[in-house]
Amino acid sequence: MQQIRLIVLILVVTIGPFSQPLALPAEANLKSPDLNLILQTLESVEQQNPARSRPYELTREYKAFRADDKKPAAEITAQINFTPPNRKTFKILQTSGNTRGEKIVRDLLKQETEPVREGHDRDINRTNYDFVFLRQEDFGVIPEYVLRIVPKRKERGLILGQIWVDAKTFRIRRIEGVPAKSPSIWIKDSYITLQFAEVNGMWITVSLDAIATVRLLGRYTLTSLYVGREAPSPPQQKTP
Q: Give the per-residue pLDDT at 4.
A: 41
Over range 203-230, report the average pLDDT.
Answer: 86
Over range 160-176, report the average pLDDT.
Answer: 97
Predicted TM-score of the model (pTM): 0.78
Q: What type of residue sits at position 90? A: F
Question: CATH says 2-16+37-115+127-227 is which class?
Answer: mainly beta
The pLDDT tens digits of the residues spanning 85-119 come to 888 999 999 999 988 778 778 877 887 887 777 66
The pLDDT tens digits of the residues spanning 45-54 come to 999 999 989 9
Helices within the chain (DSSP H only): 2-13, 35-47, 99-113
Q: At what angle do helices 99-113 and 2-13 cross, to 10 degrees?
A: 40
With contact defined as beta carbons under 8 Å apart, do 77 and 96 qualify? no
Highest mean pLDDT pick, 25-34, 149-158, 180-189 = 149-158
Q: Give the per-residue pLDDT at 9.
A: 44
Query: Between these two residues, 59 and 218, which has the higher pLDDT value?
Result: 59
